[in-house]
Structure formats: C-alpha cells, structure tokens
A and B are shown apart, each in its own frame.
Chain A
C-alpha cells in the first residue's frame, strides 16, 4: 500500500518536472524570436527594454531602402527560379526512385542527399572554383543553379515518401481497366502527389530564401538577397531596421508553415477520397 502511494507520488513529481522542463525549453525556443518583435517597433535605436516609445520608423526605413527592396526582389526571383528547377528535377527523380525495380540505390541515394549533408562552406567554395572560370560568379544563373542543387533533396524526399505511401494497387487497377501509362500518371498519380510536390517546392523555396553562405561566396552586389543583406547589416552597422526585416521574416515563416500544413491536409484528404 505504502509502495503504491510512493509510486503515485513519484509519477506525479516526474510528470510535473517534465511539464516544467518542457515549458522552460519551449520558452527558450520561442522567447528570443518573440522578444525582437516588439523591439522592432521601438522609437529609439536601442536593443533593450524598456522601449522609449512605439513607432514604425524602422519598418519605413527598411521598406523604402533601395538596398532592402532590391534584396527582396532578388530573394523572390532567385528563390522562384531555383525552386522551379529543383521541383522539376526532384519530382522526376522521385518517380524513378519510388519504383521497386530501381537499381543502384545505394550509389545514387548518397548523391541525391549530399546537398543536405556536405558542410555548406565546402559547397560554396566548390561552387566558386567551378563557376569562376565559366563566368558564373556574380551572376544570377550561377546563384540559381547553386540554390537549385541545394533544394533538390527536399523535393526528392518529400515526393518519394508520398509515392511510397499511396496504394500501388490503384496504378494496377488503372492499367487493368485499360489506361495507358501516361493516362495513369496524369489521372491517378499526379493528383495524388500534387500536395507533396507543392510541399517539396515550399521546402526548396525556403532553402533558397534562407541561404547566406553560397551567396556570400558566389553572389555579387547585384545578387544580394534578404539574408545576405541582414548578414552585412549585423556585421557592419547593426541598426533596428534589421529587426523590422526579421519580424517580417518571422511572419513569412509562419505563413510558409501554414501553407505546408494546409498542403498536408489536402494530401490526407486526397488519399482518403481515393482509398
């Protein structure tokens, strides 16, 4: 009886301790990000509380500065172009990789995954070496190709997972009912994997949008992106317009995440409708 009560007490203590630990850890994860949001509305130019007043002057400064405008356009343009390449090549590869007859898997998988694993500085220095003689350094095509390479594993992994998870008998049923392989692909496979392709492309876009080091190595002044501009902002003269940009990027991250969630919901709905 005593034992039992001790056990219950121990469990309760442990449960409480885990809750406290989790609360503090989640605070550690979120608080720093949230702390800079109010500071971006600071009227003064200090980075600490209490704030001297509320103003949107740093947002005004960031949004009207030609540097930031250019960086934003570059980020969107480079991100979109590299995402297109990564999504196209990655989806095609995933269609091959998900087939059970796929040969040489153990050789090809590491190549496809390598952009996620190789330390990014090594990658960036390598890009510089090979792009410099080709005239691709300080050019949009160079940066776009590099970012596309970095984004492909996310597309491949996401789309392959989706292809492996859906019921392969659907494909057999389609061809059994007389559909050509192309018709099967277009009418059965494609609708099922569209959400995964979209998810993969969001990942690829986010990868490009968040990338600094490759841009530092192979991008010129014309290719400055938002993270690149932030990097020089922190290194040279830290001014609160960086916090305004950071806050906008946080909102952007939440939007990206929400879009992924929405896509996942659609994927689940699609497979339920067909399953």
Chain B
C-alpha cells in the first residue's frame, strides 16, 4: 500500500486560501499530532516484529553470513603459523625467499606441531595443491629433531620442493586474507604463477559443470511440472466444487506427505527389481530391467513428483479468479474455442504460471535429498557438492564460495518472483 500518511493528512494549507488564520494554525497542530500518532503506531508495529527479527538475525541470517564470509577468509595460515604468515605477506613473491623466512618456517612448523594447529594448516595447503600436506608433515617432523646452522640449505636438501618458487607462491597466497581464491575455485578458475586468472583445465572443471547441471535439472523439472500441472489445474478450477474438492485430495495428500517418504517410494518403485520393472517385464514390454534409478531419469521423476503440487496449487489459485465472461465473449464473437483459450484464457493465467514456475525452479535449485538418493555419479547438484565440501573435505572456504553463488542466484530469482507475484500471495495446501 503506497498510501503515505502525508497524502491523507488533513488540512493542506494550500487549499485554505489567503489568510493564515487561527484555523490554519489549528490544522498545523492537528497535522503534527497526527504525525506523532502515526509515528507511534509504526513504532509499536515494529516493536511487535522485533523479537522475530532479532531471533532470525541471530539464528538464521548470521550463520549464513558467516558461511558466505568464509568464501574470502584465509585464517588457517595466520592462526597456525603467524610469524611465517606475516613475513610472507610482506614478501614480494619473487623466486625463493631467504634464510630468515626459512627460519620462520622452521620455527612456526615446530610451534604448530606442538600446539596441534599443524593439521589445519596442512589441510588448508592441500586445497591449494595435493601433497602439500605430506610436504609440511615431513618437514615438521624433521625440524623437530635438530637445528642446523642454516635452515635454507637444510630444508632444500630435505625436500627439493622448498627450492621451488611455486611452493612459496602458494604459501603466500594462503597467508593473504581476504582471498579471491575460493570464489575463483568455485568457478573453476585460479590465479596462475604469472598472476593472472585462468580457467583450470577442462577435465578438472567440476563446479561450472555442476552449476549448469543444477540449472538444467531445475529448468527441466519446472517445464515438466508446468506441462503436467497446467491442464490439471484447469480441470480442478472448472469442475463443479464437490468434484474438484475430491480430486484436490490427490494433489494435497502427496504435498503433505514427507519428502523422505516420497523419495523412499520412488526408490522402491524404480529399482531394477522394483515394482515398475517387474510390471514392465510382466507385461512383456522389456526383457531385462530398465535403468530408472541412480541416473538422471530417477532424479527428474523424483523431483517432478515432489514439486508438482506447488505448480498445480499456484496455477489453480489464479485460475479460480479468472472470470469466464471473457471466454464467453470471445466465443460469441466467433472465436474458435482453441483460439479463445490461447488468446484470452492463457494470458489471464500467466501470473499463476509465473508463480508456479519461479517457485518450482527456486526450490529445485537447492535440492539435496532427492538427487542424493535417486541420482547417479553424474547427477550431483550444487547442494550435494556443498555438503561434500563441508562434511568430508572440510573445505569451508570452497563450501562458502559455492554457497555464495547458489544464494545469489536464488536471491535474484526470488526478487524477480516477488516483483511479479508477491511472496505474500503464497498459500500452502
């Protein structure tokens, strides 16, 4: 509601003619009182929502912000090997650093090993280059044993990698915070020794492909839901009340059934020895089991099943409010029913179609359970990769970067959705 208090405020002085009389002063006072009352009312309204806002900011927005912040933070080196990290940040990054830095490396490695921080640093360095962990672990063991006259030659003799500028370049990158490295890695890019950004080799490009796959699965599911859902919504909106209520149960009951139950159902149905395959072979349609699960087919079937009710309900609620008058008018003016339907009816239902499509697409983007249980090796969606980074790789930086892309992408779609449809109009069930 754009009705601002000013627009409605009583007594616009301009209308009161020429003399600034007592009446004018009285209106000014009234206006002031009115404004004060309005201000109080909006403060009271705001105060009522305050507990929820505080609750959501602290338990919901803060965690997400923290995860997204991880995508540019580089705290492992600075925490675990502070002296070396400081020296490396100051270092110009050319060639191999001198004896002082090597000595700091030795001292910090020893310190980190004793304080138990070495594992964290080693894991962090492994994200930059596999086998960095073994280099650090091996060196840390060696520096604990004895103290040579000069660290540089001793460590280079221990492992020739300490003589490589690349090793030191990676350490410097890991010591610099904030870093763009995770955000680049999430797009399959990296900073190469020359200092420019380049794509990783094609065969290593995991995430760009995963994003494209996520978008393509979500788009396919959205289209499938639209094709399946539109006629159903139409019939439900045009049948007599009693019949449509009864049929609506077929949409609502699945909608209310646990996501996991529905995924389990498909898991059982789609298996090679499952219900659908035994049905097919009983009917003599197939001689051996059709691969319906652990591949894209399984993901699409499962996700379409889960998201279809959202589409039907969104379109149905708009179709219910479409007046039949225009269709009748078009037909009485001689339009073919098909033409009338396409040119008169469908345009009136587009808000519902938009709502359904946006809703299904946005929900599909973040899916995790259904693709994890019904998909195969080539069907991972971005959510699964985020979970993998946090649960098994413990690479929170990369998880944060992937999350940032997913959240930004989802937010963009949400704002389009809100602009076109309005989130307030969502109904469940």
Contacts and interface: CB of A to CB of B under 8 A. Distances in A.
Given A96-B47, A119-B407, A112 B38 contact: no
Say which size band chain A's interface belongs to.
Answer: 35 or more
Given A36-B265, A104-B46, A152-B52, A47 B273 contact: yes
Contacts of A160: 424
Given A108-B49, A120-B368, A238-B267, A129 B257 contact: no
A170 interface: no
Contact of B234 (A18, A110, A115): A18
Interface centre among A25, A126, A250 (most CB of B within 10 A): A126
A188 B44 CA distance: 19
A54 interface: no
A114 B229 CA distance: 26
B253 to A, nearest CB: 6
Contact of B46 (A103, A109, A217): A103
Interface string A132-148: 00000000000001101
A19 B429 contact: no
Interface in B43-82: 44-49, 51-53, 55-57, 59-67, 70
Nearest to A39: B268
A267 interface: no
A130 B232 contact: no
A120 to B, nearest CB: 6
Interface in B387-427: 387, 390-391, 396, 399, 403, 406-407, 410-411, 414, 418, 423-424, 426-427
Contacts of B232: 21-22, 25-26
A122 B256 contact: no
Nearest to B248: A26
B386 interface: yes
Interface residues of B, number: 95
Given A32-B262, A111-B57, A157 B256 contact: no
A161 B1 CA distance: 15
Interface centre among B59, B271, B369 (most CB of A within 10 A): B59
B228 interface: yes
Nearest to B362: A117
A92 B337 contact: no
Interface in A136-177: 145-146, 148-149, 152, 154, 156-158, 160-161
Interface string A44-69: 00111100000000000000000000
A122 B49 contact: no
A100 B64 CA distance: 31
Contacts of B390: 125, 128, 217
A242 B264 contact: yes
20 contacts: A22-B247, A25-B228, A26-B250, A32-B269, A35-B265, A93-B53, A102-B46, A103-B45, A112-B52, A114-B64, A121-B368, A121-B384, A129-B63, A130-B62, A149-B60, A157-B428, A158-B428, A217-B391, A235-B373, A250-B253
Given A7-B337, A118-B366, 14 more contacts: A21-B231, A29-B254, A33-B253, A36-B268, A89-B55, A96-B47, A99-B45, A101-B5, A111-B57, A119-B383, A126-B403, A217-B390, A234-B264, A234-B267
List of 5 A-B pairs having minimum Cβ-Cβ separation, nearest first: A119-B366, A96-B48, A126-B63, A93-B52, A96-B49
Interface of A: 7, 10-11, 14, 18-19, 21-22, 25-26, 28-30, 32-33, 35-36, 39, 46-49, 85, 89-90, 92-93, 95-97, 99-104, 108-115, 117-123, 125-131, 145-146, 148-149, 152, 154, 156-158, 160-161, 203, 206, 209-210, 212-213, 216-217, 227, 230-231, 234-235, 238, 242-243, 246, 249-250, 253-254, 256-257, 260
